[in-house]
Amino acid sequence: MAAGCSSRPPSPRPYPLLMYCHGKSSTIQTFYSVKEDSYYMRKLPDLNDKVICGGCEGWLVVLNTDAESDECFLINLASTEKIKLPPFKDFDIKKCVITAPPTDPTNCILVFFDSEKPDAMFWRPGQKNWIKQDNIDDGSQKEEDELWRLNHLTGCGSKIYGFTNYSKLVVAEVVNHRLRLRPLGPYRPEMPIVAIRFYLNMVESRGEIFLVYRSMLGESDTRIEMIQVYKLNNNSNTINQNENQQQPEWIQVKDIGDRVFFFNTHTYKSFACSASETGLKRNSIYFTCCHDYNKNLYLFDLEENSIQVSLPCPNVVHNMTHTLWVMLKLPPPS
């Protein structure tokens, strides 16, 4: 069933909303509330003809699509506050991750990874320039499994977690004004060989790292066969300090408690929230899928091991450019 249109935001507190960017040059943003089953529309001119390359907790990392422009900024979706980032040239961005909103200067680190070589640059609130770093890899791994080739990124505090091409877990952190990568040891859990394709998401919740994978079957890669959830054990932040400490491992879990996960296919950070505080069903996961162009909304219930599918905003599915889950507190319309 399609949602109805609302004239104002559904909640005065930060709340998970599914944002659709659509219209010519992404001129319109539609926000869908799962709890209220309603949506409302806004126009943010700052996003026109721009690329959203990442984000966290209502803040977007935005680049100008003009190849001659070096414009890059952060924008808050609620207040429309903008933070202009230092310009940069000659850097081919492959991935972007921001660990925390800029209002949290202790934990906020914005990192761009180069697409062709082991280079990166990062920014923290208060910096006037990017800190560019060549050869962030230590050269200890085989070429096909180099540490800088990270995927499925997420942030936890001021640290960044990701997997290499060969599924080794790596943590990145800024130490003495340099970005340092180190392998943590555990490989990604093995996936069922019957799956045609699988999708991974890592998410931080209350200081813990979770990994969720969805395995797909069917000739068109459109049928979700299985969803499994793993948690990184509690020794992950202290590993490699000495040989006697327990090495981290992925432990499969059947219950995530009073949590709800929201997974993005975009580089916008996936996140978790409290079910009791938001009025949503506990032990559940919301996501969209690339195979149907992110138009459908999926709800997976871990307890019942069931999936519900809906089409919340049929009026925007034909001209979308971005679909993002955001945790947002929006002001009333003017």
pLDDT in tens, the chain (334 residues): 566 666 555 456 788 999 988 887 778 889 999 988 888 888 889 988 888 888 998 899 999 877 677 789 999 998 899 999 998 877 788 889 999 999 999 999 999 998 888 889 999 999 999 999 988 876 566 655 577 778 888 999 999 999 887 788 999 999 988 999 888 877 888 766 666 677 889 999 999 999 998 887 765 555 777 899 999 986 544 434 444 456 788 999 999 999 999 998 766 789 999 999 999 999 999 998 876 777 889 999 999 999 999 989 887 766 777 788 998 876 555 4
What token pair was written down for 44? 């943010």
Predicted model pTM: 0.87
**Who contacts 311 (Cβ-Cβ below 8 Å, separation ≥6)?**
2, 295, 296, 297, 317
Angle, CA 152 vertex, CA 86 and CA 134 arms, to 5°: 45
Are residues 20 and 322 in contact, defined by beta-carbon separation less than 8 angstroms?
Answer: yes
Closest CA to 251 of 270, 230, 269: 230
Q: Kindly list the structural domains of the chain, giving each domain's residue range(s) and its CATH number in brackets, ordered by start.
A: 4-328 (2.120.10)
In 3-state terms the chain splits into helix, strand, coil percentages (rounded to 5) of 5, 45, 50
What token pair was written down for 59? 């803040």
- 2-56 tens-digit pLDDT: 666 665 554 567 889 999 888 877 788 899 999 888 888 888 899 888 888 889 9
